[in-house]
Chains A and B, each alone.
Chain A
Amino acid sequence: MCDDPRVSVTGWIVDTPTKPARLAIALAGLGLGVIAYRVQIDNLNILGPFTTPTRAWAIVAVAWAFLFAGLVAWTRRPGNLVGPLMLAAGFALLLRQLRYSHDPLLFTVFFVLGELAYALVGHSVLAYPSGRVTDRAERALVKVGYATVLTVPLVTLFFYDASKPLLFFDPTPRQSELLVSGSAQMVELLQKGLVIWLYGVLATLFIVLILRRLASATPRARRMLAPLLLAAIAIALRAVFECVFTFVDRPFAYDYVFWWQIVGFIALPLALMAGLVRARLAQATVGDLVLELETTQPHGIRDALARALGDPTLEVAFWLPERREFADSAGRPVELPEGGRRAVTKLDQDGEPVAALIHDPSLLDEPELVRAAGAAARLALQNARLQAEMRAQLQKVQESRGRIVAAADEERRRIERDLHDGAQQRLVALALQLRLAQRRPGEHADPEVDRLLEAAVDELQAAVNELRELARGVHPAILTEEGLAAALDSLASRSPLPVSLEVLDARLPPEVEATAYFVACEALANVVKHAEASKAAISAWRQNGSLMIEVEDDGIGGARTEDGSGLRGLTDRVEALGGRLTIQSPVGGGTRLVGEIPCAS
């Protein structure tokens, strides 16, 4: 997970430092720390006590804190630039002390580069926790900071001719290698200007930006951003220290503020490091996630991911390639939010989306964590996605089955109406015409014609009767007009077996009534044909939002759904409406067929 090559930061890949490299960095830091200490003691106290060993060590300790925190963060969060930035800040803080040297070259170089340390400190704070400075205002501040610390000290040395001591320096003169034209006034102006600009203006902006970030953060992000508050306090102390004591000569509070800002600056890198490592610990929960997902049902994936990412608001949307859209686990379409209070991380496989995580925007600061969790969950997600896809298709199929049944019913009703109102009606009218012809008195009274007409009417009458039976089989009119109870009553009254009825007297959706009717019809036909029963009973009642239809007989039993296409077709029909057809038919124990048909009304 850690060496995922896709994790890149602003274009470069920051690899984990190797063990020898880490050792070299640590030794360099220690050595440089001792040198920095000596440079201070040897150069600042020539004319008397300007600094104390404790203070000199304290300054080194701040740098060491940055080095330590930077090294740990870089090791534990490879790919995150905050670690390397802190490391750079630590070295810069040590090298800064070389500016106190009386060697002209060392003085010149490190006076010019000395303030870089504070720009790096600011940069590492603003880059926390993602390693990138994304906010436009913050980016601008970082750029202005670097520009300031790289130009102002440089220009100062153009004018420094040792005629007056430098700010924060002991009174002994140093030699600027860059001297162009000596001007103690310019030097003082530039030095004080730098302090006011850097510690007055930029530090204030820095604190404002941090407070803004904290204020607009979601609760999850705020926990993560807590070290920034410490940074704001440390920088504020430092700013007060620099500003106040630039213009006020060593009042009694000097010591007090000095030590507080030292404490702040030692705590700052450690807090940033702790924050990063804790986020790294969150990644360790990804390991648990992998194990957990092995036993997790698809619907539990969201919860497992939400726990691993520490974001209870997390939502998972699955990609449905066929519909080319995202859907939730129930197959309902999901619109991915753009910007605002939600962020989206898409998980791909071979260039094809698998799923999208809709989460708290603070997680964008930890892309490795989200990606790692996503990678761990990918297989399970893909599985879940297939299930969501299947469910979506099943729902569609279910709906279309229902529509097909309804359409078929409608068609049957139409055929029934057409048979009665069309063909049957015409045949009756035609037969009546023949009868009238037959009854015409007078010369046409030919017995042969009369016989033919009689036969024709009889034929027509038979045809009408057949049509009537046909129409009843297609869709009994009484079902449409009077409902299930009446239709079952009619069915029972035509049955050669005694049939007792107990049927609810209420109108239900037509496809439900028709399905229940045909179930009873087919079941009763089977009873008559196969069951050798002496009586049958039909019941229909409502139960838990479903219509229950039951046909029971006292026959020989042993019937199965697979027997005969009639029952098979009915099972399909009932299932098309989301219902079930069950049959209990112990040999010798009669048969009981129960249909359960969901009905909304």
Chain B
Amino acid sequence: MIAEDSVLLREGLARVLGESGFEVVAQVGDATELRRAVRRTKPDVAIVDVRMPPTQTDEGAQAAKEIRAEHPEVAVLVLSNVVEARVALELFSERPEGFGYLLKDRVLEIDDFLESVRRVAGGGTAIDPDVVIQLVGRRRVHDPLEELTPREREVLGLMAEGRSNRGICEKLFVSPKTVETHVNSIFLKLDLAPAPDDHRRVLAVLAFLRS
């Protein structure tokens, strides 16, 4: 389902999703309708604009938080005109499963966007590259990231976005074996405990970057 106050964008999104095999069960224009629609239709994914009427501030984000708390089975993909690392971390809190936070214009890279929707719907995570840049790119006085090779940093960023090893392979056009080597090296250099699954991995990476 889609919650977005711009009709043009909402319908564009619905078409993109519809044409790609998704079923759009509801389209709403404000946060109140969104809550009602989620309760009624229990969708696999709710795509939510942060700013919506009536106050045009962050009722979308508030509604997203509530949905995640009340309906853990509903995955939430939050779209925003601006992304802030702090807001991302707050929204996703300690539960990266079934959560996405993307810049609105990411929908223009349709294939990437659809991949993110599928990932979130499947219980995965999608964090906007801009957020990751803010976290990874942040300069620190004693920066442990300095020890990473440029390629390893790239892999770290993709992990932080929530991509799986397979996703990283496709993005970087390298073999799964190479990716695995990079991931192990990163965990070793950053002194992180190896994570059993992708969710834990996102959490560990983001927790590291946030500190």
Binding site for B on A (CB under 8 A): 417, 420-421, 424-426, 428-433, 435-436, 439, 457, 460-461, 464-465, 468, 471-472, 476-478, 480-482, 486, 489-490, 492-500, 535
CB distance from A445 to the nearest CB of B (A): 16
List 17 interface pairs A-B (beta carbons < 8 Å), by A numbering: A424-B81, A425-B104, A426-B6, A426-B8, A430-B8, A435-B16, A435-B108, A439-B19, A460-B108, A464-B105, A472-B82, A486-B87, A490-B86, A490-B134, A493-B138, A498-B141, A500-B141
Given contacts A428-B104, A429-B12, A439-B19, contact A496 B82 (CB under 8 A): no
Closest to A500 in B: B141
Beyond contacts A429-B8, A476-B82: 20 other A-B pairs, Cβ-Cβ < 8 A, are: A420-B82, A421-B51, A425-B104, A428-B105, A429-B12, A430-B8, A431-B105, A435-B108, A435-B110, A460-B108, A461-B108, A468-B82, A478-B82, A481-B57, A482-B84, A486-B87, A489-B86, A492-B138, A496-B139, A498-B140
CA distance A495 to B137 in the complex (A): 9
CB contacts (< 8 Å) of A464 on chain B: these are 105
CB distance from A464 to the nearest CB of B (A): 5
Given contacts A428-B107, A431-B105, contact A486 B81 (CB under 8 A): no
CB distance from B157 to the nearest CB of A (A): 14
Interchain CB contact under 8 A, A429 and B108: no
CB contacts (< 8 Å) of B8 on chain A: these are 426, 429-430, 432-433
CA distance A482 to B81 in the complex (A): 15
User: A420 contacts which of B81, B107, B143 (Cβ < 8 Å)?
Assistant: B81
CA distance A432 to B110 in the complex (A): 9
The verdict on B178 contacting chain A, using a C-beta distance below 8 Å, is: no
Interchain CB contact under 8 A, B108 and A431: yes
CB distance from B141 to the nearest CB of A (A): 5
Contact with A along B18-57 (1 / 0, CB 8 A): 0100000000000000000000000000000001000011
The verdict on B9 contacting chain A, using a C-beta distance below 8 Å, is: yes
CB contacts (< 8 Å) of A535 on chain B: these are 141
Closest to B13 in A: A432
B residues 114-163 with Cβ under 8 Å of A?
134-135, 137-141, 143
Interchain CB contact under 8 A, B81 and A493: no
CA distance A503 to B56 in the complex (A): 27
User: A497 contacts which of B57, B84, B139 (Cβ < 8 Å)?
Assistant: B139
Closest to B9 in A: A429
Interchain CB contact under 8 A, A490 and B12: no
CA distance A435 to B13 in the complex (A): 11
Closest to B6 in A: A425
Closest to B104 in A: A428
User: B9 contacts which of A428, A457, A478, A481 (Cβ < 8 Å)?
Assistant: A428
Closest to A535 in B: B141
Interchain CB contact under 8 A, A471 and B9: no
Interchain CB contact under 8 A, B108 and A482: no
Contact with A along B65-107 (1 / 0, CB 8 A): 0000000000000000110111100000000000000001101
CA distance A492 to B210 in the complex (A): 13
Interchain CB contact under 8 A, B139 and A499: yes
Interchain CB contact under 8 A, A432 and B12: yes
CB distance from A502 to the nearest CB of B (A): 14
Interface centre among B6, B15, B108, B140 (most CB of A within 10 A): B108
User: A494 contacts which of B15, B134, B141 (Cβ < 8 Å)?
Assistant: B134
CA distance A480 to B86 in the complex (A): 14
CB distance from A162 to the nearest CB of B (A): 113
The verdict on B58 contacting chain A, using a C-beta distance below 8 Å, is: yes
Closest to B7 in A: A429
Given contacts A468-B82, A489-B86, A493-B134, contact A436 B139 (CB under 8 A): no
CB contacts (< 8 Å) of B107 on chain A: these are 428, 432
Closest to B12 in A: A432
Interchain CB contact under 8 A, B81 and A439: no
CB contacts (< 8 Å) of B58 on chain A: these are 481
CA distance A476 to B86 in the complex (A): 14
User: A461 contacts which of B16, B57, B82, B105 (Cβ < 8 Å)?
Assistant: B105
CB contacts (< 8 Å) of A432 on chain B: these are 8-9, 12-13, 16, 107-108
Closest to B8 in A: A429
CB distance from A184 to the nearest CB of B (A): 110
Interchain CB contact under 8 A, A425 and B86: no
Given contacts A428-B108, A435-B110, contact A486 B86 (CB under 8 A): yes
CA distance A339 to B51 in the complex (A): 64
Interchain CB contact under 8 A, B57 and A480: yes
CB contacts (< 8 Å) of B16 on chain A: these are 432, 435-436
CA distance A432 to B7 in the complex (A): 12
CA distance A424 to B57 in the complex (A): 16
CB distance from A493 to the nearest CB of B (A): 4
Interchain CB contact under 8 A, B86 and A439: no
Closest to B81 in A: A420
Given contacts A429-B8, A481-B58, contact A457 B85 (CB under 8 A): no
Interchain CB contact under 8 A, B6 and A493: no
